[in-house]
Amino acid sequence: MAENPRARKLAERIQQIIAKRLEKGLRDPRMGFVTITDVRVTGDLQHASVFYTVYGTDEERAGSAAALKAATGMLRTEVGRNLTTRLTPQLEFILDGIPENANHINELLRTASERDREAAQLAAQAEYAGEADPYVKPREEPVEPGDQDPGER
């Protein structure tokens, strides 16, 4: 089923509003370098899931999560002022797992590449168990000088 176009537009607008507000800064000292990566709004436009990433350590991530949770009401008010909808959606901030997933995929690709190199080295040193060409070839009968091919007459 296709996504609701109005929900998609509302999600884009909410992402812009929150990103601008975070760019201005919050008074909370726990707030780190936060990037809003995606916003998803339900079909009834009542709930918005805001995905974000934080640049830094695990402590900075935890501090930023607490700061966003504390600032949810203020950010919802900011969203409500800038939207032309009758109701302002509830905001839920969710730490985006994309960077961790990308690092995990890169590690898997690196491991696969190393295994491919090892397999190529083993293949280069490998020898055939039997003959190099295992297929049976038809026997060629020797042609004597007096014999001619019937097609050449």
Task: Quote the mean pLDDT of the chain.
Answer: 85
pTM across the whole model: 0.65
End-to-end alpha carbon distance in the chain: 76
At 62-79, the pLDDT tens digits run 888 899 999 899 999 999
Q: What is the pLDDT of residue 145?
A: 67
Cα(33)–Cα(53) distance, rounded to whole angstroms?
A: 8
Token pair recorded at residue 59: 């402590």
Is the per-residue pLDDT at 146 higher than 50?
A: yes
List the 47-55 sheet strands across, edge first: 33-41, 47-55, 90-95
Beta bridge partner(s), residue 51: 38, 94
How many whole angstroms from its chain centre is CA 95?
15
Fold category of 5-96 in CATH: GMP Synthetase; Chain A, domain 3 (3.30.300)
